[in-house]
C-alpha cells in the first residue's frame, strides 16, 4: 500500500471493482480499491447472479446492455472464469395489461437498437422451458442476452483486469475516517495507516450509509432483505440436454434460473422487510439472515404453481441476504454538491447487471468531466435533502421493493413519501377538486375533478380524458389559473453576475425588464438546461427551470462559480400562479392599477406589479401558446394571490387547471420540455435549441463543439412534430418511428391535442426523413399506427395569440 493515490475506491463489491477497472482502463492507473475484509464480502457473494435486459428507464437499459457485453470482455482480459451462462430469458405476462406492457416494452427496446428481443407465445415459452406451467400465460418477451454468472468470479475478474492495468487492491483494511484537506484532497484514515487521495469513491454497498456519514452526508439508501432458494437436482431438468432460459414471472413476483441440475427461485415479496437501515455492522460479511418463510408464503406458493416440479424437489439451501436500495431502485452515482472530489457509486441493487455501466459512467465523469450517456436516472442530484429523512427512505424503498414486479401505469400516482411538500394554497386547491402528482417531493396539481372521481390506472387513455379536455377548452376560450410553485427559481446577484451569466448561457442576455429563453450547454456542447432568464433591471437576475432539477442545476452553478457572483435557490420562498387564455389580460386589469396593455406590458417583458394588496414579480410568458402571465410571489402570499384572482374572475370563464392539460396545450405548440425533448444526451442542433444560441457574442461554455456541429451541417437527427392515427391510446415516449419498415427515430413525448382534435407527438428522426408530410408509422402500446410529420405548432402556428 502506498501513501498516496489519485483515487481511492472504498468497497470491494462488484461496483467498486468495476469503478476501479474503468478508471484504469481510461488511463488513471494510480488508483486503489480498499476493502475492509475481502472482495465480495457484503452483497456480492450471495447475489443470485442473474442479468436481464429489461428496465423501465431506457437510458439505464442501454447501460445494462453495455454491462452484458462487457462481461465476456473482462473475462478474457483478466483470465478469470466468470461462469457465464447465456441462457436467454423470458419475462412472462398473465394479465392483459401486462401483456400490453410487454408489447410496448418490446418496441422501446427497438428504439434503443437492442434487436435480440422478441415477443413469444405460451407454446414457445413451454418449448423453451419445459418445466414451466403456462396456465394463464398470455405471452412473454424473450431476450437472447440474458442469463447468469458466478458473482464471485465477476468481481475478481474486474479486480484482476484492473490490476493488470496498474490499479491496486488492498484487502483487510477498513476505512475509519475521511478528512478533507485545504487543497480539497482527502486524508483516508485506514486501519493500516493514512492515505492521501485526490478523489474518493463511495462504493460501500451495505456500508455506503456509514461511508457517507464520514463526510456529513445522509444518503437515501438502505438495505432490505431478499430471499431465494436453491433446490437439489430436479429430474425434469437433469433429463434435458440444454440449459433452460431464465423466467421472470411478473404476476407471480418470482424469477427462476437453472442452478446446476436444479433450480434457483427468487422472490420479490410484497411484505417487504428492512434490515439495519443505518447500514450493516462493520463485522458483517459472509453471514446470511435467517429465512422467513411465512412472510414470503404467498409469493412462494405462486412460484410453486408456476414451476410444478418444485413440489417434489428438495431444498438445498435458502439465501436471505441484504441488498441496498434507493427510493426509486436506481443507483446513486456521481459527484456530491458541496463535497468536492467525493463521488458515489452505491445503491446499486442490481450490481451484476448495472455495475459495468455504473463503473464506465463514473470513470468518464471523473476523467472527462461528463459521462458519455445521459445517466440522470442514476445521478445523486435527482434527490434533495428531503430524501435523507429516515421515514421517507423507509416508505419509498419499501414501496419500490414490494412493487418490483407490480404493474406501474404512466397515469398512476404512488403514495410513499407523500405528501411531503405542499404549496401554501394546497388545501384550497384540494377543496376545489385538485388531484395531485409529485415532483421532487412537491405536490403538483395534475387536474381538477368533481367529488368522488377516481382515476383508473391504464396504459391507454384515462377516464380523466374528458376532464383534461374541458380544462384545455376553457384555457383556450377564457382564462386558466395554474399553480406554478413547481418551477425552480434561482436568484443571481453580484458585481460579476452579468459576466458570469454570459459565460454560462449560450443565448444573449435579456435587457432590463425583459426575459429570454436561454439554453445552457455542457463543455461537450450538449444541453445542460432549457431555462428562462429574467433581468429585473436592479442588479437581480432570475433563472427559471424545472423544479426537479434544483440540486442538479445548483451543483452545476456552484461547480462553475466565480468571485463576485452569488447564486441562491429561492424556489422554496417564491411561488406563484400563471394566467393563460384570451381573457387573462382582462382579469389582470381588474386586480391591478398598473398598465398591462399590450403596448405597456409586451411579450417576454417582466416587471413588478401590484395585484390587490400584493406586489408581485410579473412576466409576460406563455407555455400554453395563449396570452399569458406568470405571477411570482413570496410563499406567504400564495393563498392571497389565488383568492384575489378568483374573486375578480366573474364572467371571464376562469378555470383552475393542472399539468396534464398543460402537456396537451404545449404539444399543440410543439414546445419541448426537459427530460423529453431536451436532455443532457442531446445537442442544441438536434432539438432546435440552436436557434437561441448567439455564437457571435463571445465565448461561453460549450460554444466550440456546438459551433462545430452547426458548421458541419447540423445534427443527424432533428426534432419534428407528428400527427398519429391513434384511437384509444397516445404516445408517451421512446416509441420507435419507422419509414418503409426502417427505424428512423423515436418519440420523445406525446399526448392528445384537445383543441386540434389530434393525437400528437414530438420525435427525433433522421434528417433525411424529417420533411413535412413524410408518411411514417409508430407503435402505440405495441400496436402499429400511421403517422405523418406536420408543421410545428399545429395550434396558432404564427404565434399571434400569445403575442396579443
The predicted-structure confidence for 661-698, as pLDDT tens digits, reads as follows 999 999 999 999 999 999 999 999 999 999 999 999 99
Q: Where are the beta strands (DSSP E) in 52-159?
A: 89-93, 117-120, 139-143, 147-148
Cβ(468)–Cβ(566) under 8 Å? no
Q: In this model, does residue 56 exceed pLDDT 80?
A: no
783: its cell numbers: 400496436
Backbone angles phi, psi at 249, to 5 degrees: -95, 95
Check residue 626 and give its pLDDT.
98
Neighbours of 84 (CB within 10 A): 18
Q: In this model, does residue 237 exceed pLDDT 90?
A: yes
Residue 134 CB contacts under 8 Å (≥ 6 apart), including other chains: 122, 123, 125, 126
**How would residue 54 be classed by pLDDT, with cut points 50, 70 and 90?**
low
Average pLDDT over residues 521-538: 98
End-to-end alpha carbon distance in the chain:
71
**How would residue 542 be classed by pLDDT, with cut points 50, 70 and 90?**
very high
702: its cell numbers: 460549450
C-alpha span between 761 and 267 (Å, rounded):
38
Radius of gyration of the chain from Cα atoms? 27
Out of 290, 325, 360, a domain closes at 325
**How would residue 309 be classed by pLDDT, with cut points 50, 70 and 90?**
very high
Beta bridge partners of 738: 743, 777
Per residue in 738-780, pLDDT tens? 999 999 999 999 999 999 999 999 999 999 999 999 999 999 9
Check residue 115 and give its pLDDT.
85
Cα–Cα nearest to 546, from 413, 418, 678, 731? 678
Q: Where are the beta strands (DSSP E) in 298-366?
A: 315-325, 332-336, 339-346
Does a structural domain hold residue 381? no
460: its cell numbers: 391507454
Does a structural domain hold residue 761? yes
Domain count, the chain: 2
* Helix (H) or strand (E) segment spanning residue 472: helix 465-477
Residue-wise burial string across 6-16, b where 16 or more C-beta atoms lie within 10 A, e elsewhere:
ebbbbbbbbbb
Q: Residues 564, 565, 566, 570: what is their CA dihedral angle, to the nearest 10 degrees?
A: 150
Out of 325, 350, 365, a domain closes at 325
Check residue 227 and give its pLDDT.
97
Cβ(67)–Cβ(355) under 8 Å? yes
C-alpha span between 516 and 507 (Å, rounded):
8
Per residue in 500-526, pLDDT tens? 999 999 999 999 999 999 999 999 999
Per residue in 200-220, pLDDT tens? 999 999 999 999 999 999 999
Per residue in 544-561, pLDDT tens? 999 999 999 999 999 999
Neighbours of 142 (CB within 10 A): 22
Q: In this model, does residue 385 exceed pLDDT 70?
A: yes
Beta bridge partners of 8: 32, 200
C-alpha span between 386 and 396 (Å, rounded):
12
Percent of the chain surpassing pLDDT 90: 97
The number of angstroms, rounded, from the C-alpha of 284 to the middle of its chain's C-alpha atoms is 32
Does a structural domain hold residue 182? yes
Q: In this model, does residue 270 exceed pLDDT 70?
A: yes
Check residue 461 and give its pLDDT.
98
Cβ(423)–Cβ(632) under 8 Å? no
Does a structural domain hold residue 167? yes
67: its cell numbers: 454491462
Does a structural domain hold residue 361? no
Residue-wise burial string across 687-712, b where 16 or more C-beta atoms lie within 10 A, e elsewhere:
bbbbebbeeeeeebbbbeebeebbee
Cβ(207)–Cβ(280) under 8 Å? yes
C-alpha span between 206 and 277 (Å, rounded):
10
Per residue in 447-461, pLDDT tens? 999 999 999 999 999
Does a structural domain hold residue 374? no
Check residue 61 and give its pLDDT.
82
Cβ(149)–Cβ(85) under 8 Å? yes
The number of angstroms, rounded, from the C-alpha of 327 to the middle of its chain's C-alpha atoms is 12
Q: What's the domain range around 171?
A: 4-325
For the entire predicted model, the pTM comes to 0.97
Does a structural domain hold residue 711? no
Q: What is the CATH classification number for the domain harbouring 138?
A: 3.30.9.10
**How would residue 78 be classed by pLDDT, with cut points 50, 70 and 90?**
very high
464 to each of 470, 624, 786, how far by Cα in Å? 10, 20, 25
Check residue 578 and give its pLDDT.
98
Taken as a whole, the chain contains a residue count of 804
The one-character DSSP state at 637 is G
Does residue 419 have a cis peptide bond before it, meaning omega lies within 30 degrees of 0? yes
Q: In this model, does residue 125 exceed pLDDT 80?
A: yes
Average pLDDT over residues 604-610: 98
Instruction: Average the pLDDT over each of 28-42, 105-119, 430-444 and give the range with the smallest value.
Output: 105-119
Q: What share of the chain is helix, strand, coil (3-state, %, to 5)?
A: 30, 30, 40
Q: In this model, does residue 627 exceed pLDDT 80?
A: yes
Out of 273, 299, 325, a domain closes at 325
Does a structural domain hold residue 282? yes
Amino acid at each position: 500500500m502506498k501513501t498516496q493515490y489519485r483515487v481511492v475506491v472504498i468497497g470491494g463489491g462488484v461496483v467498486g471493482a468495476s469503478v476501479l477497472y474503468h478508471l484504469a482502463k481510461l488511463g488513471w492507473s494510480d488508483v486503489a480499491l480498499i476493502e475492509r475484509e475481502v472482495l465480495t464480502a457484503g452483497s456480492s457473494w450471495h447475489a443470485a447472479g442473474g442479468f436481464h435486459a429489461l428496465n423501465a428507464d431506457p437510458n439505464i437499459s442501454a447501460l445494462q446492455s453495455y454491462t452484458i457485453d462487457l462481461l465476456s470482455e473482462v473475462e478474457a482480459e483478466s483470465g478469470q472464469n466468470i461462469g457465464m451462462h447465456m441462457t436467454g430469458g423470458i419475462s412472462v405476462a398473465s394479465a392483459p395489461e401486462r401483456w400490453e406492457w410487454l408489447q410496448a416494452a418490446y418496441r422501446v427496446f427497438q428504439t434503443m437498437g437492442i434487436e435480440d428481443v422478441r415477443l413469444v407465445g405460451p407454446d414457445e415459452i413451454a418449448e423453451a422451458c419445459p418445466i414451466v406451467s403456462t396456465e394463464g400465460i398470455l405471452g412473454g418477451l424473450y431476450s437472447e442476452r440474458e442469463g447468469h454468472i458466478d458473482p464471485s468470479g465477476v468481481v475478481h475478474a474486474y479486480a484482476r483486469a484492473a490490476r493488470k492495468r496498474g490499479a491496486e487492491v488492498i484487502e483487510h483494511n477498513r476505512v475509519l475516517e475521511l478528512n478533507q484537506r485545504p487543497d480539497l484532497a482527502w486524508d483516508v484514515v485506514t486501519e493500516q495507516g493514512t492515505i492521501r487521495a485526490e478523489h474518493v469513491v463511495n462504493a460501500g454497498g451495505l456500508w455506503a450509509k456509514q461511508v457517507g456519514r464520514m463526510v456529513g452526508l445522509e444518503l437515501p439508501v438502505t438495505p432490505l432483505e431478499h430471499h431465494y432458494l436453491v433446490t437439489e437436482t430436479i429430474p425434469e431438468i437433469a433429463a434435458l440436454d440444454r440449459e433452460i432460459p431464465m423466467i421472470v414471472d411478473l404476476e407471480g413476483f418470482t424469477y427462476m434460473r437453472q442452478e446446476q441440475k436444479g433450480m434457483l427461485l427468487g422472490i420479490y415479496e410484497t411484505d417487504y422487510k428492512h434490515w439495519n437501515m443505518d447500514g450493516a455492522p462493520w463485522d458483517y460479511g459472509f453471514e446470511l439472515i435467517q429465512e422467513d418463510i411465512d412472510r414470503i408464503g404467498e409469493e412462494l406458493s405462486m412460484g410453486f404453481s408456476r414451476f410444478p416440479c418444485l413440489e417434489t424437489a428438495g431444498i438445498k439451501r435458502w439465501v436471505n441476504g441484504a441488498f441496498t436500495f434507493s427510493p426509486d431502485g436506481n443507483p446513486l452515482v456521481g459527484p456530491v454538491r458541496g463535497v468536492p472530489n467525493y463521488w458515489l457509486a452505491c445503491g446499486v441493487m442490481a450490481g451484476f447487471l448495472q455495475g459495468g455501466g455504473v463503473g464506465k459512467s463514473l470513470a468518464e465523469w471523473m476523467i472527462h468531466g461528463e459521462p458519455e450517456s445521459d445517466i440522470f436516472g442514476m445521478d445523486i442530484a435527482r434527490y434533495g435533502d428531503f430524501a435523507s429523512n429516515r421515514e421517507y427512505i423507509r416508505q419509498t424503498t419499501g414501496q419500490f421493493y414490494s412493487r418490483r414486479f407490480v404493474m406501474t401505469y404512466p397515469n398512476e400516482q404512488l403514495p410513499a413519501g407523500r405528501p411531503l411538500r405542499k404549496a401554501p394554497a394546497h388545501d384550497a386547491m384540494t377543496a376545489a377538486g385538485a388531484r395531485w402528482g409529485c415532483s421532487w417531493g412537491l405536490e403538483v396539481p395534475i387536474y381538477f375533478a368533481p367529488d368522488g372521481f377516481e382515476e383508473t390506472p391504464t396504459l391507454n387513455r384515462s377516464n380523466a380524458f374528458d376532464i383534461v379536455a374541458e380544462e384545455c377548452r376553457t384555457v383556450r376560450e377564457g382564462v386558466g389559473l395554474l399553480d406554478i410553485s413547481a418551477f425552480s427559481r434561482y436568484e443571481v446577484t453580484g458585481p460579476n453576475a452579468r459576466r458570469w451569466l454570459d459565460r454560462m448561457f449560450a443565448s444573449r442576455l435579456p435587457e432590463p425588464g425583459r426575459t429570454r429563453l436561454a439554453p445552457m450547454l455542457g463543455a461537450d456542447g450538449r444541453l445542460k438546461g432549457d431555462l428562462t432568464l429574467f433581468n429585473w433591471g436592479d442588479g437581480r437576475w432570475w433563472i427559471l427551470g424545472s423544479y426537479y432539477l434544483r440540486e442538479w442545476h445548483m451543483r452545476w452553478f456552484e461547480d462553475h462559480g466565480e468571485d463576485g457572483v452569488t447564486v441562491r435557490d429561492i424556489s422554496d420562498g417564491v411561488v406563484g400562479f400563471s394566467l393563460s387564455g384570451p381573457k387573462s389580460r382582462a382579469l389582470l386589469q381588474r386586480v391591478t392599477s398598473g398598465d398591462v396593455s399590450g403596448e405597456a406590458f409586451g411579450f417576454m417583458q417582466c416587471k413588478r406589479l401590484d395585484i390587490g394588496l400584493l406586489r408581485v414579480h410579473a412576466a409576460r410568458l406563455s407555455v400554453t401558446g395563449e396570452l399569458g402571465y406568470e405571477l411570482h410571489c413570496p410563499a406567504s402570499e400564495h393563498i392571497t394571490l389565488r383568492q384575489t384572482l378568483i374573486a375578480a374572475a366573474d364572467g371571464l370563464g376562469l378555470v383552475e387547471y393542472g399539468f396534464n392539460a398543460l402537456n396537451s396545450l404545449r404539444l399543440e405548440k410543439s414546445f419541448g420540455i426537459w427530460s423529453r425533448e431536451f436532455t443532457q444526451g442531446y445537442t442544441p442542433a438536434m432539438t432546435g435549441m440552436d436557434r437561441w444560441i448567439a455564437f457571435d457574442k463571445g465565448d461561453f461554455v460549450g460554444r466550440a463543439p456546438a459551433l462545430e456541429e452547426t458548421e458541419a451541417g447540423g445534427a443527424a437527427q432533428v426534432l419534428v412534430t407528428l400527427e398519429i392515427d391513434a384511437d384509444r391510446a397516445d404516445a408517451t415516449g421512446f416509441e420507435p418511428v419507422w419509414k418503409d419498415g426502417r427505424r428512423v427515430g423515436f418519440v420523445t413525448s406525446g399526448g392528445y391535442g384537445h383543441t386540434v382534435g389530434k393525437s400528437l407527438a414530438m420525435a427525433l428522426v433522421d434528417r433525411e426523413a424529417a420533411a413535412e408530410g413524410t408518411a411514417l408509422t409508430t407503435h402505440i402500446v405495441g400496436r402499429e399506427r400511421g403517422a405523418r410529420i406536420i408543421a410545428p405548432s399545429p395550434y396558432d402556428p404564427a404565434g399571434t395569440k400569445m403575442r396579443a
